[in-house]
Amino acid sequence: MKIIRYNATKQLEKIYNRGFIKSHRVEEKVKRIIEDVRIFGDEALLRYMRKFDKVKLTAKQLRISEREISGAYQSISGDFVTQLKVIIENINRFYRKQLKKSWRIKDTDGLILGEKYEPLERLGVYVPAGTAPLVSTVYMTVLPAKIAGVKKIVLVSPPDKNGNINPHILVVADLLKVDGVYRIGGAQAIAALAFGTKTIPKVDKIVGPGNIYVSEAKRQVFGYVDIDMVAGPTELVIVANRFSDPKFIIADLKAQAEHAGGLAVLITNSKALAKTVKAQLNINGAIILTKNIRQAMEIANTIAPEHLEIFVKNPQRMLKFVHNAGAVFLGPYSPTAVGDYVAGPSHVLPTAGTARFFSGLSVYDFIKSIHIIGYSKKALEKVRLPLEKIASIEGLTEHLESVKARFL
């Protein structure tokens, strides 16, 4: 790992602007796949499965059968479901706090204003399985959607070379009462969810991480459906000082290095810590040496990482300086791994600096707000003059007349 000084502007800019790299080749390839699936549906899906996954199936075999799901229970260890229940309770406890209630106000003039919260009807969840089956993505996406009240949830995941889906993914999906699981991955799976095929239902929103083709496909279908975010490689930034245990820091940076192309950064004001970590780690990443911890937090905010670990004596005091991060992990016993698997908040988090304006997946992502407006004649009379003034400035005469008609 390189040691970078806080005033090494060009080197820091490369980290800050990591999300601006774009591949026109990938963009065009994904565009063709999406259009192909939109026009030819299942036929295109099966063709791409033969091409990319080397698996030959019929359209009927795209959906995982009840028999396969039952068989999946025979392929997992006996304590898996028991441990899963602990995780499910942690996630449910966190997301129940986010539930919103519809509200309405009414004044003495008969004016009614409010919001009605409605869950989305249909959700598509993408679960990666290329380098490793991301079992945790199933419960990290499905549970907040279930708590929000989403009516129908389907899941897609790429098959292995034998055409199978990891049994743990199937068991979790079944326990969480997912309405359908389909063995399809890549940009073609995103296209199928966005536009629907004879076999795979069209959804209102697509969530879940994926490779560069999946992320690009989500970006391109946004507008036809909603998406959670366009996620890039995973990221970890650690802020630490001379009181921090290098053993924990090194372990967490090594864990981050398990992800291909991920960002691993240590920001510290301790030269001794920087040298210790540099000597023991040979991974892609950077160590940024700052004047003090406040400056370290400023740089962390500019990076706006997916995961931010704070290794100082009183990490909670540093929260007031955190403005941009997907999730914050406080103290030496809060490794990123606990957030990835069991803590409660979803591990679907903004990357590539988008934590400046995106949030981690939440119940709010699966709820839409419907505005409620009700006026009596008396209430309308009170806003008639300002309404007519703005409408006249905009030149929309029929808008004016629609109000005047109520007072003739």
Which residues are the active-site residues? 306-307
- The rounded distance, in Å, linking the Cα atoms of 233 and 235 is 7
Q: How far is CA 73 from CA 58, 245, 336, in A?
A: 25, 42, 29
- H or E element: which one contains 36? helix 24-40
Task: Please say whether the dihedral angle defined by the alpha carbons of residues 21, 193, 48 and 163, taken in this order, is positive or negative.
Answer: positive
Cα–Cα nearest to 249, from 234, 269, 271, 268 = 268
CA-to-CA dists, residue 178 to 55, 148, 209, 348, angstroms: 24, 14, 18, 18
Q: Are strands 103-106 and 112-119 parallel, antiparallel or unpaired?
A: antiparallel
The secondary structure element, H or E, covering residue 180 is strand 180-183
What's the gap between Cα 136 and its chain centre?
13
Name the strands in the sheet holding 286-289, side by side, starting at the edge strand that comes first in the sequence.
2-5, 286-289, 263-268, 235-240, 307-311, 327-330
> 329 and 196 in contact (C-beta within 8 Å)?
no
First to last CA, the chain: 77
Contact 287, 317 (CB under 8 A): no
